[in-house]
Amino acid sequence: MKKFTLLLSALVAVATVSAGQIANNIQRVRLNGIDVIAYKTGVKDVVYLRGSLPAGDDKAPADNSMVPTLVGGMLSRGTLSHTKSEITAMLDAVGASLSFSVNSAMVEFNAKCLAKDVPLVLSLLGEQLREPAFTEEEFSRLKQQTLGGLKRALESTDFRATDTFTRTVYGAGHPNRNATIDERIAALDSATLDNLKAFHAAHYGPAYLTVVAAGDLDVASLQAAVTKSFAGWSGGTPRLVAVKNSATDDAKEQTVFMADKTSVNIVIGQATGMKYTDADAIALRTGTAILGSGFTGRLMANVRDKEGLTYDIGAGVANDMFADGEWKITATFAPALLDKGIASAKRQLTNWYENGVTAKELEHRKDNLVGSFKVGLATTDGLAQNLLVAIHRGKELTWLDEYPQVVNSLSLEQVNGVIKKHLNPDEMFLIKAGTVPEAAK
Amino acid sequence: MKRLLALSAFVASAALHAALPAVEGFSHVKSLGGIDEFRLDANGLQVLLMPDHSAPVLTFMVTYRVGSRNEVTGTTGATHLLEHLMFKGTPNHNREQGNNVDQLLERTGALYNATTWLDRTNYYQTLGSEHLATVVAMEADRMRNLYLKEEDRRPEMTVVRNEFERGENSPFQALIKEIYQAAFVAHPYHHSTIGHRSDIENVSIEKLRAFYDTFYWPDNATVSVIGDFQPAEALALIKQHYGPIPKAAKPIEEIYTSEPEQLGPRRVTVKRAGQLGVVAVGFKNSAALHADWVPTQILADILTDGTNSRLYRALTDKGLTTNVSPYNGPFRDPSLCIIFAALAPGATHEQVEKALLEEIERVKTDGVTQEEVDGAIAKQLTQLAFDRDGSFAIAGQLNEHIAMGDWQNFVQIGDKFKAVTTAHVQSVANKYFNVDQSTTGWFVPILPGAPKAAAAK
């Protein structure tokens, strides 16, 4: 009887971690240049694989910003050894999944499978990273589907507001600055397979590849599979050192008018000039959480709960993983309540900036941050994701054990000091996207 | 594949339970798949316990068997608005005392919220296991002691209205609403869970109070505890806090409205600003616990899931769509299995709809291959394993099966997938995927600068 219960609980079990234990349970080796991080958890039979190599948008050739994204898109469209259909069939047969995405600095992969299928998935991962087929037929399909995705993005008020925000706070050349949709469509149109092959040859390789595996692992078997899948591969280029942001002289208020929208998205914010690794980063994040995180954050508690002006409003620090990032408030308002909503959000911002946070708020928020960190690590996927994020942020893997202590050691003076030091509401930008009343006139 | 099957069979057969906690006042009802069901004798509260000590967290969830299917004209959206008001406080837990739901839970770092859907409303917290007593007391308190004040309804109405407006921003979501409204003329699945704007704005606090007093009772709820806890301790806490609450004074009426047979194809069109069109074809499906639902899901997967699926090859690979996706409504009553096709630049609605229906006809006539069925089953079984990655994920899945009408389906569904054959798939294709039982929706985008009349087809 007991055996059944134990076995079953193993099947549904999650990562067994607690403070101080994570780094000690990691097995990290370098194999053929590849940084391989393994974490065996209590989960039964399933494995999550995540990883990346530095071949993101920041390495795009000067004449075409879409090339890294398109190379990433071609990885799952067939290799020199197997067609797209054959690869899909092999994964489908065992219920595994393997996908790729490209961000400002990295091409990332995300896979999940049963433990017995880790060698198969790593073999296909190796094949797809090393020898994509780059066929004309698939390239043509990818271009059309990407065009469709870009056009659909134009329908989203959320996308239009945040996309415009990147071009107001980040100067030319900064990796967090998005090209316009029109620029991306033009680049998509002009990209050639030769562009993609050249980029792949230049930047794909094992030298800066990271593989994170968590779950029901046989670590020796995992390492053997990595060795086999990537044997004989060479190359790869290091992550670029991001250029520091240079301010734009764009208008402080901008409106992206979109017809037929019943809710307007807004962004209020600025560039911070800070990366996650900077000394003040955690203090600024903690102070910002008091303003704009969760239902007890000042923005939700006042602009939503007391005044009923919005369904969602929050503040956060973002895009500081690979380069210096941004600070922003995001919210949605009905067009008729837009002015009132923005005024209310700004009132909270000003009060927070001028008067700082209280000792009680800081004490509560520390508990919240440490508690939610613990909850976030309680799944195998959450653990794998947090390990990769720590690496991307340039932290040692001990960071996951150290974080609670770092948060708990913050002082009130420190938190209120960094708010004043790094932010300036008078210099913040305001972007509105949607059927904005005054723009419709 | 064999390993998968073995694992799934194990889950389904693990009907045994170790040393059931004996807490006076509870009746043990059944045990299956590591879950023990109890009933609180005093008031009929259903309790599901699924202990697992591999991480020091747990999820506590209350599922009320009330959703938008329980609403009528004038109160559409009331279930959801009431869900929002459930965070506004009681005499014991409120902002003034510094211990309302948000104040209590955010300090612990809990992942918490509530959701409303067609058949149910649920309130959940995933948090450190040392906080179990706190959440049991809080949830039991708001089951019957909610303030429900007009001064809370007014600002919360505009919050919910903005939630409605955000949904309306998406042409895709607007199309889904139109399809359901055309497909169901009698059954309350007709209206969306968010409700009609005028109802959100005008429903009175008295009507919300009546809703609360009708449905928020222990004998209309299930409490689930999953993760790191001691069953005897959890039951004792549940008895302490829920035990004094009486059962509903009046029996809660079952919904008796059923949808009349659909006698011909229905069509809806949404025209508004946008860039690319969408074709969506919704077929009446079976209730989620009906034997046909699982084969219908496998059919939908074969049609749309992955780059080897029938419709991906027929539409996306041929440049007609940017992607295809299924939605097989898993509800207590029959709803819709919708196939979505997002048009690629240059493709027309007519082309896409014709090609989509041709592929469905091919399945109905020629059937599907064993390889296709095996692949779809393998993916579903593996997904079931991943859906058990942590107490929060388990709670999310269990909640939907409670809403369907039988939590045991959470454990049994793996075996149901394993049993699907090619014949089943062809059979449900012929039984359900008929044009006369379909509702087809087109989103027709009006490009910026184009007059609406010119864009009309």
Average pLDDT over residues A258-285: 97
Q: For residue A76, is pLDDT > 50? A: yes
Q: What is the pLDDT of residues B46-82, one digit of tens each?
A: 999 999 988 889 999 999 999 999 999 999 999 999 9
Torsions phi, psi for B59 (to 5 deg): -120, 130
pLDDT (0 to 100) of residue B169? 92
pLDDT (0 to 100) of residue B447? 87
CB contact under 8 A, B34 and A262: no
Query: A210-215 and B278-284 as β-strands: parallel, antiparallel, unpaired?
Result: unpaired
Q: Given pLDDT bands bounded at 50, 70 and 90, which one contains residue B1?
A: very low
Torsions phi, psi for B204 (to 5 deg): -85, 160
Give the sign of the dihedral formed by CA B286, CA B292, CA B298, CA B303: negative
Torsions phi, psi for B35 (to 5 deg): -110, 130
CB count, 10 Å around CB of A330? 23
CB contact under 8 A, B322 and A149: yes
Q: What is the pLDDT of residues A297-321, one digit of tens each?
A: 999 999 999 999 999 999 999 999 9
Nearest to A369 among B16, B109, B110 (CB): B109
Rounded distance, CA A360 to CA B104, Å? 14
Note whether B279 and B343 are within 8 A (CB): yes
Q: For residue B403, is pLDDT > 90? A: yes
Average pLDDT, chain A: 93
Residues near A186 by beta carbon (within 8 Å), at least 6 away in sequence = none
Nearest to B345 among A15, A147, A372 (CB): A147
pLDDT (0 to 100) of residue B7? 34
CA proximity to A210, closest of A230, A180, A224, A192: A230
**SS3 at position B146:** coil
Between A18-22, A199-203, B1-5, the lowest mean confidence (pLDDT) is in B1-5
Torsions phi, psi for B405 (to 5 deg): 125, -5
Q: For residue A2, is pLDDT > 60? A: no
- DSSP track, B223-290: EEEEES--HHHHHHHHHHHHTTSPPPSSPPPPP---PPPP-S-EEEEEEEE-SS-EEEEEEE---TTS
Q: What is the pLDDT of residues A407-420, one digit of tens each?
A: 999 999 999 999 99
CA proximity to A5, closest of B234, B399, B19: B19
Burial classification of residue B298, based on how many CB atoms lie within 10 Å of its CB (0-12 exposed, 13-18 middle, 19 or more buried): buried
Q: What is the DSSP letter of A240?
A: P
Q: Given pLDDT bands bounded at 50, 70 and 90, which one contains residue B18?
A: low
Distance from CA of B247 to the nearest CA of A (A): 32
CA proximity to A110, closest of A1, A194, A210, A24: A210
Between A16-20, A281-285, B41-45, B85-89, the lowest mean confidence (pLDDT) is in A16-20
Q: What is the pLDDT of residues B281-312, one digit of tens each?
A: 999 999 999 999 999 999 999 999 999 999 99
pLDDT (0 to 100) of residue B451? 60
Q: Given pLDDT bands bounded at 50, 70 and 90, which one contains residue A16?
A: very low
CA proximity to A161, closest of A186, A178, A182, A184: A178
- DSSP track, A93-141: HTT-EEEEEE-SS-EEEEEEEEGGGHHHHHHHHHHHHH-B---HHHHHH
Give the sign of the dihedral formed by CA B306, CA B308, CA B309, CA B315: positive
pLDDT (0 to 100) of residue B54? 80
Which conformational region is residue B109 in: left (phi greater than 0), alpha (psi within -120 to 50 degrees), or beta?
A: left
Average pLDDT over residues A91-95: 94
The residue in chain B having the minimum alpha-carbon distance to the alpha carbon of residue A17 is B55
Nearest to A367 among B11, B50, B108 (CB): B108
Which conformational region is residue B291 in: left (phi greater than 0), alpha (psi within -120 to 50 degrees), or beta?
A: alpha
CB contact under 8 A, B380 and A114: no
Between B12-26, B39-53, B274-288, B431-445, the lowest mean confidence (pLDDT) is in B12-26
The predicted model scores a pTM of 0.92
pLDDT (0 to 100) of residue A21? 80
Interface residue A311 vs chain B (CB under 8 A):
yes
Distance from CA of A357 to the nearest CA of B (A): 16
* Strand ranges inside B52-106, DSSP E: 57-64
Interface residue A305 vs chain B (CB under 8 A):
yes
Which conformational region is residue A330 in: left (phi greater than 0), alpha (psi within -120 to 50 degrees), or beta?
A: beta
Indicate which of B10, B11, B54, B87 best probes the interface with A, i.e. most A CBs within 10 Å of its own CB: B54
Tokens of B166: 């955000």
Interface residue A340 vs chain B (CB under 8 A):
no
pLDDT (0 to 100) of residue A14? 37
Note whether A324 and A244 are within 8 A (CB): yes
Q: What is the DSSP letter of B81?
A: H
Distance from CA of A202 to the nearest CA of B (A): 29
Torsions phi, psi for A53 (to 5 deg): -145, 150
3-state SS string for B324-355: EEEEECCCCCCCEEEEEEEECCCCCHHHHHHH
Average pLDDT over residues A124-136: 98
Average pLDDT, chain B: 93
pLDDT (0 to 100) of residue B452? 54
Distance from CA of B406 to the nearest CA of A (A): 20
pLDDT (0 to 100) of residue B2? 33
The size of the A-B interface in CB pairs under 8 A is 250
The residue in chain B having the minimum alpha-carbon distance to the alpha carbon of residue A113 is B382
pLDDT (0 to 100) of residue B3? 32
CB count, 10 Å around CB of A441? 5
Average pLDDT over residues A224-245: 95
Q: What is the pLDDT of residues A350-392, one digit of tens each?
A: 999 999 999 999 999 999 999 999 898 889 999 999 999 999 9
pLDDT (0 to 100) of residue A7? 27
